Chains A and B, each alone.
Chain A
Amino acid sequence: MSTIGLMVNGRTYSVDVDPETPLLYILRNDLKLNGPKFGCGVGQCGACTVIADGEAVRSCVTPVGSFKGSRIITLEGLGTPEKPHPIQQAWIEEQAVQCGFCMNGHIMNAKVLLDRNPNPSEAEIRQGLESVLCRCGTYYRVIRAVKRAGELMRAAGAAK
């Protein structure tokens, strides 16, 4: 066990755990966050995705000890019902959810994609999200939601 400082969604936390513990369990059980989900535990499905220093990271297989000094963003850190992130707004507008269990992974990976490429083609969206899995078949709407999110983000950027 050792004390590890974490910066999550702009707040700092100190947790006393084995540094080898996957970050996911700290986020869910110590920080009581619901966004990142346990989907596979082996880094295959993306449901546990968080963004650390701008990179999409699979928190179910990444030790908490490797996040020292990192700025971690979870789904909760994107926006709120009162002030939604354009991606969350796009997801609601496109109704891009069925059971919703995988949507954390899609939204967080979409954010990394759009931050790098604000106007992705459909092929780039498919490529960018290919490793994020959905069992209910929401993919068709996810593509639409990412396109709409890109439009909203570009519009917001232009307005500034």
Chain B
Amino acid sequence: MTIITDSTSASEGRIEDRLYEEAAHKGISRRAFLKGTGVLIVGLGMGGFTRMLDPTTAAADFSSIVDPSKLGSWLAIGQDNSVTLFFGKVDVGQGLFTAFRQLVADELDIPMERVKVVVGDTAVTVDQVGASGSTGLALGSPPVRVACAEARLVLLELASARLGVPVEQLTVHEGFISVRGAPSKRVSYGELIGGQRFTATLQWNGELGRPLSVTGRAQPKKADQLKVVGQSIPRDDIPSIVFGAEHHVTDVRLPGMVHARSIKPPVAGARPVRVDASSVGNVPGVVKVVTRGDYVGVVCEREEHAIRAAEQLKITWSEPSAPSFPTDWIGLFDYIRQAPSRSDTVVQNVGNVDEAFARAARVVQATYEVPLQAHASMGPACAVADWRNGEMTVWSGTQKPYGQREGLATFLGLPREKVRVIWKPGPGSFGRNDAGDVAFEAALLAREVGRPVRLQWMRHEAIAWDPKSPAALMSLRGAFDSAGNVIAFDWDNRSFSHQDVAPAENPPGETLVGQFLGFKREVRNVIGTPSEPYTFPNRRHTTHAIPPLKEMGSPLRTAHLRLPTGSVVTFASESFIDELAAAGGADPIQFRLRYLDGSRQATLLKAAAEAAGWDTRPSPKPGARADGAGVVTGRGIAVRGGAATVAEVEVHLETGRVRVTRFVCAHACGLIVNPDGLKNVIEGNLLHSMSRTLYEEVRFDRSKVTSLDWESYPMATIADVPDRIDKILINEPDSPPRGAGEETSAQTQPAIANAIFDATGVRMRRLPFTAGRVKAALTAHR
């Protein structure tokens, strides 16, 4: 185990080769693309490529679904000795593709500059789900590394035949295979196979998506043989962003493209009874007003006119006979407390909890409240759809291009081979956000008007109608014996389902427009629960899934938001552990170490504490106060899974304003591929979850969401950024990457709550810790 303390800064970046993307924009097939880049057909240079860009000569080729057992599905070698990797993960701002290029460079012994990636295009890349629970490297890289190792072996065998020496006497360096001791006898990858496809096969387990696995004759390299891995290589996608190149899904432009906007009901559950298309008669360039089921959209030649038409269109809406929701946001937790449960699950039951509580010398209990929060991505969801020759192509920012293709096929009544989803980077999604909905609406509209349609939601839709993270009410109890040991721990979690809409947009009833058109969805009462790291002798964890506030067509449908389940439950569990420590008069870290089962969390706690200069003592700190004027300070810690985070805060006693002055985060996520990329991800997790801790709560009345923009749904700004964020990276080279995309977003909320307690003696149990709420708690405490 190595602790990396360097902070290698980035050097010059590169503009990625965008030829493939351009081809994909024009509906060019994989085959045509490979032809164009000289992979399939020898001698076709840029002239050939240019001809391939002509959409009339290049109808999309959907005839072959990518087969994971074929090595050629994963890798292609160009005549220029370049490597193109095709794989089925997508990136949502974590720099995944650079990490993959590092892995490929190491496995194939080729300069990283010669490695390109093609990702998330259902017609040309193997189904590896897309983004899913921070598994980009954890699940995405093993088959890629196997494919690379196999390709390297195939290339060595080809070189052996070409050079007339056994494989054992060959060596590989920077894409050239040479004879040991005779470096002039050499051949490049490109000379061996450039322009042709690999014909070798891999052993495939027959699964697509998360469980997909392949094996080959060759083994991927051991960690100590990796050289590019472990370096802070600059991300390859950053230059295109800072120079304003085409990059995001919002930047896709097709010839003849028109613009659309969708219209949401003013009241959840209202249905369009009459749509008066003549009411937009004075808007220039209206292509069509589309009404299908309960969905209404407008398509115009120009975007500003689509926006105007959507505002101006006169729609008579039905008036729901009852309020849309059984509560408003103020009464949410009272509602959750008394709502019927649809599914009760005892997740964990060790020992005899009831017996232990019956004999306890002391019982501590507390209830924690986590509100509905929005993904609220930086840009409202956008998709471009092209209906051509009976085939639908959608450029989408979804995290799940393969699931979206399946859902779209059902939605449109097409065979899956006739639907292609081409992933393009969206604004950071953090889970199942509105990108999962907009693509279906764009596809519907494109088929209606027979022209390429670009649809983007408006800001008010993107906060109000985006799926929400599930609100939860968590009651915890702890029992001490007379010697001050914790003898029982009882956890009761009442929550909305974490999958009121599924993570992938399949079947179409999992989308808003699907529901507007009458597609059904499966009811899933899913409340995931991370494993408890504490070995209290008696412990129980129970969950109760309560029904959604509205079953169908709801702006308050719930879904994953960054770290499915983790951040919600960790707020309660790690706050409560702190309460137990305080009740027992123990230092928060010492208390945790006493009960932790594994060495990993202990290592993380110690690493974070050491870097933070942790002052070992119980909370609240001597002199902590909740009254008067001025600023008090405190520190708190929380640990979960592969990370421990210390938060240091200032609390302004007059206003109740909380400011985080420093985070220290120790993170272990297996083999570290790109240390600076990991640091960037950690900073993002900390700041995003800090925003959720201090500001974010979706407001709604009994009929609609009233959080509609950044004033009614405030978030953290640059003024809130801590003075210092220390990242302690714990490399575990013998463990494969375990996933870092979200892990460090779970500890922030309890760490801040624990720090506020340390500073003031006041325990904050309801998120977010707005100044008003903290002020009220300080006042009540006096």
Which A residues are closer than 8 A to B by beta carbons?
1, 18, 21-22, 25, 28-29, 32-35, 37-42, 44-45, 47, 74-76, 79-81, 84, 88, 91-95, 97-104, 107, 125-127, 129-143
Q: Take A81-B243, A127-B719 as given contacts and tell me if A92 and B709 are in contact as well, using a CB distance cutoff of 8 Å.
A: no
Contact of A101 among B9, B379, B430 (CB under 8 A): B379
In the complex, the answer to whether A38 meets B687 with C-beta atoms within 8 Å is: no
Is the pair A37, B250 in contact by a Cβ cutoff of 8 Å?
Answer: yes
Partner of B253, one of A1, A21, A32: A32
Closest chain B CB from A91 CB (angstroms): 5
Query: Which chain A residue has the least Cβ–Cβ distance from B430?
Result: A135
What is the CA–CA distance of A95 and B10 in the complex, to the nearest angstrom?
A: 6
From B463, which residue of chain A is reached at the shortest CB distance?
A40
B709 and A42 contact, CB distance less than 8 A = yes
A91–B238 touching, CB < 8 Å: yes
Query: Is B710's CB under 8 angstroms from A44's CB?
Result: yes
Q: 1/0 contact trace for B228-257 toward A, CB 8 Å? A: 000000110111011111111011010000
B684 & A34 in contact (Cβ 8 Å cutoff):
no
Q: Which among A1, A99, A104, A132 is the interface contact of B425 at CB below 8 angstroms?
A: A99
Q: Which residue of B lies closest to A74 (CB)?
A: B244
B interface secondary structure, majority: loop
Asked if B702 lies at the interface with its beta carbon under 8 angstroms from chain A, I say: no
- Residue B615 at the A interface, CB < 8 A? no
Q: In the complex, what distance in Å separates the CA atom of A15 from the CA atom of B231?
A: 49
Within 8 A of A (CB), among B679-706: 680-681, 683-688, 690-691
Nearest first, the 5 closest Cβ-Cβ pairs linking A and B are: A137-B687, A35-B244, A99-B93, A100-B241, A99-B428
> Is B676 close to A, CB under 8 A?
yes
| Chain B, residue nearest A135 (CB) | B378
* Nearest-neighbor residue (CB-CB) of B462 within chain A: A40
In the assembled complex, which residues on chain B have CB atoms less than 8 Å from the CB atom of A81?
15, 239, 243
> In the bound complex, what is the Cα–Cα distance between A123 and B307 (angstroms)?
38
Cβ contact of A126, chosen from B13, B253, B302, B718, cutoff 8 A: B718
Known contacts A32-B253, A76-B244, A98-B680; decide if A39 and B426 are in contact (CB<8 Å).
no
Tell me, rounded to whole Å, the shortest Cβ–Cβ distance linking A77 to chain B: 9
Specify the chain B residue showing the minimal Cβ separation from A22: B304
What is the minimal beta-carbon distance from A132 to any residue of chain B, in angstroms? 7
Q: Is B427 an interface residue (CB 8 A)?
A: yes
B456 touches A95 (CB 8 A): no
B247 contact from A80, A100, A132, A137, Cβ within 8 A: A100
A136 adjacent to B243 (CB under 8 Å) = no
Contact check, A135 vs B376: say whether CB atoms are below 8 A apart.
Answer: yes
12 other contacts beyond A29-B303, A95-B676, A99-B425, with CB at 8 A cut-off? Answer: A22-B304, A29-B259, A44-B711, A98-B93, A98-B681, A101-B379, A129-B718, A131-B717, A135-B715, A136-B378, A136-B688, A137-B686
A100-B302 in contact (CB<8A): no
Query: What are 27 A-to-B residue pairs whose CB atoms are below 8 Å?
Result: A34-B247, A40-B710, A41-B307, A41-B459, A47-B378, A74-B244, A75-B242, A75-B243, A84-B243, A92-B234, A92-B238, A93-B11, A94-B9, A95-B238, A95-B680, A97-B235, A97-B241, A98-B428, A100-B238, A100-B248, A100-B425, A101-B248, A103-B241, A132-B717, A133-B378, A133-B710, A135-B428
- Chain A residues contacting B684 (CB-CB under 8 Å) are 98, 136-138
Find chain A residues with CB under 8 A from B248 CB: 34, 37, 100-101
Do A100 and B710 touch across chains, with their CB atoms under 8 A apart? no
Kindly report which residue of chain A lies nearest to residue B708, judged by CB atoms: A42
Q: A41 touching B687 by the CB < 8 A rule?
A: no
Asked whether, in the complex, the Cβ of A40 is within 8 Å of the Cβ of B10, the reply is: no
CA distance A35 to B683 in the complex (A): 24
For A141, the chain B residues whose CB sits under 8 A away are 680, 683
Residues on A with beta carbons closer than 8 Å to the beta carbon of B241 = 97, 100, 103
Chain B contacts for A79, CB-based, 8 A = 243
Tell me the complex Cα distance, A97–B247, Å. Answer: 13
Task: Give every chain B residue within 8 A of A107 (Cβ-Cβ).
Answer: 242
* A39–B242 touching, CB < 8 Å: no
Q: Are B13 and A92 in contact (CB under 8 A)?
A: yes
Option from B430, B676, B715 in Cβ contact (under 8 Å) with A133: B715
Cα–Cα distance between A142 and B241 once the two chains are bound (Å): 14
* Residue of A25, A32, A47, A80 touching B379 (CB-CB under 8 A): A47
Pairwise interchain contact A88-B242, C-beta atoms closer than 8 A:
yes
B618 interfacial contact with A, CB 8 Å = no
B64 CB, nearest partner CB in chain A, Å:
32
Q: How far is the CB of A137 from chain B (nearest CB, A)?
A: 3
Which residues on A sit within 8 Å (CB–CB) of B246?
Answer: 34
Are B379 and A133 interface neighbours, CB within 8 A?
A: no
Question: Contacts A88-B242, A92-B13 hold; do A38 and B379 have CB atoms under 8 A apart?
Answer: yes
- A45 to B714: give the CA distance in the assembly, Å: 11
CA distance A136 to B709 in the complex (A): 17
Q: Which residues of B contact A142 (CB under 8 A)?
A: 718
Closest beta carbon of chain A to B90's beta carbon, Å: 12
The yes or no answer to B380 lying at the interface (CB within 8 A) is yes
Asked if B725 is at the interface of the complex by the 8 Å CB criterion, the answer is yes
CA distance A155 to B32 in the complex (A): 48
Name the residue in A25, A35, A39, A101 with the highest tally of chain B Cβ atoms < 10 Å from its Cβ. Answer: A101
How far, in whole Å, are A88 and B10 apart by their CA atoms in the complex?
13
Contacts of B485 in A (CB 8 A): none
- Bound CA–CA A34/B94 (angstroms): 21
- Which A residues lie within 8 Å of B725 (CB)? 140
